[in-house]
Amino acid sequence: MKTIKDVAKAAGVSVATVSRVLNHEKQVSSKTREQVLRVIDEIGYTPNVLGRNLRVRATDRILVLLPSLSNQFYSSVLKGVEAVASAQGYQTMISVTHNDAEVERGYINLLYNRSVDGILLMSSSLPAQEITAIAAERPLVMCSEYNEGARLSTVGVNNFQAAFDAVSYLINAGHRRIAMISSEQTYSGRLRTQGYQAALKQAGLTFRPEYLINTQYSFRSGLEACEILLHLPEAPTAVFAISDVLAAGVMKRLQQAGQIPGRDVDVFGFDNISLADMLTPAVSTVSQPRLEIGKKATELLLGKIADIHSPDQAVVLPHQLVLRQTTRRVVSPAVFPAEKIG
């Protein structure tokens, strides 16, 4: 393995000069620069970035922590992350925690042993105070999910309002028996449940506990929840699920029961992942501005890397209702300004 010293020797200059060429510093004559570059090319030298990292105390690398790779949702968020990261000269890496706190801590430790400059959390299994403590001393930002009570920069949508809007839409379309498939595992899930209840209340509908099913974020959970709903004495006429994958499970079960989503029972999902449009009929859903979430979160993260004491921000980006084939058209459009329905 060649080192900067080999280059210096072969080029007949000092290592300092080679280093200057490598770092594009101006104060080096063009002839020595060319000479050095030629030698670098000749002997096939690649700088060992570990030496540099150790010296400059930075890796120019950020890490994105995902709970799993199987959620399509993160794909576009990541595009936003990469866009601003690479524009600032940072490389993006991803690791998967599988919702395992120990695994997550292992990756977060990379922040302390200087392997990465900052971490973007798309979800976390750690207690809020632990997150707060880490974020206080290292660049750590959360997006799309939020652990209640944690103090750090965050980016996401107004989950309460998003659910409120979706459910209000269903009510406005004439539904009176609306079920929700949610999850208490995440703060966003709890907020969406509150939005659901608030929408019912505002419309003067009474909340029926049997219409609220708390479960996991999975296709199977959607199937099972729908199974329960179908067997209720008075089955709901619409189902609002807090993820498109859950909604897919609902769709599947409905069709197994010979029902057609959008005709017999309306279905509303959340996330607007590609799956929602792949299913037949195409699923109405709540869309989050994923690209923007990724971009904004990365900006905040890079800000923290530049100055760990930059003030925390809680950025809320606008959501949209995407109406497709699993929901009736709304009856009184007045309630929803067209701009909002997108």
Partner DNA sequence: TTGTATGCGTTATCAG
Partner DNA sequence: CTGATAACGCATACAA
- 275 touches a second copy by CB under 8 A: yes
Nearest of 333, 253, 243, 319 to residue 287 by alpha carbon: 319
Task: Work out what residue 82 binds among a second copy, DNA, none; the CB cut-off runs from 5 to 8 Å by kind.
Answer: a second copy
Task: Work out what residue 68 binds among a second copy, DNA, none; the CB cut-off runs from 5 to 8 Å by kind.
Answer: a second copy
Asked if residue 264 lies in contact with residue 240, where contact means CB atoms within 8 angstroms, the answer is no
Task: Work out what residue 14 binds among a second copy, DNA, none; the CB cut-off runs from 5 to 8 Å by kind.
Answer: DNA
Helix 290-306 vs helix 73-87: crossing angle, to nearest 10: 40
Least Å from the CB of residue 21 to DNA:
8
Token pair 């189902």 is found at 239
- 17 touches DNA by CB under 7 A: yes
Q: What is the largest CA-CA distance in the chain?
A: 89
Task: Work out what residue 226 binds among DNA, a second copy, none; the CB cut-off runs from 5 to 8 Å by kind.
Answer: none
- 91 touches a second copy by CB under 8 A: yes
Which of 22, 83, 228, 257 binds DNA (CB under 7 A)? It is 22
Nearer to a second copy, 64 or 167 (CB): 64
Which of 34, 42, 48, 256 binds DNA (CB under 7 A)? It is 48
Neighbours of 53 (CB within 10 A): 16
Nearer to a second copy, 191 or 322 (CB): 322
The one-letter amino acid at 101? A
Least Å from the CB of residue 12 to DNA:
7
Least Å from the CB of residue 248 to a second copy:
5
Token pair 């959501």 is found at 319
Helix segments in 29-127, DSSP class H: 30-43, 49-56, 73-87, 101-112
- 132 touches a second copy by CB under 8 A: no
The one-letter amino acid at 100? D
Asked if residue 283 lies in contact with residue 326, where contact means CB atoms within 8 angstroms, the answer is yes
Nearer to DNA, 14 or 68 (CB): 14
Between residue 195 and residue 254, which ones bind a second copy under the rule CB under 8 A? Answer: 219, 245, 248-249, 251-252
Helix segments in 57-212, DSSP class H: 73-87, 101-112, 128-137, 159-172, 187-202
Per DSSP, 267 falls in state E
Asked if residue 187 lies in contact with residue 219, where contact means CB atoms within 8 angstroms, the answer is no
Kindly give, in sequence order, each residue whose CB lies less than 8 Å from that of residue 130, ignoring residues fewer than 6 positions away: none
Binding site residues, DNA, CB under 7 A: 1, 3-5, 12-17, 19-20, 22-23, 26-29, 31-33, 47-52, 54-57
Binding site residues, a second copy, CB under 8 A: 46-51, 53-54, 59, 61, 63, 68-70, 72, 74-75, 78, 82, 91-96, 106-107, 109-110, 112-115, 219, 245, 248-249, 251-252, 255-256, 274-275, 277-280
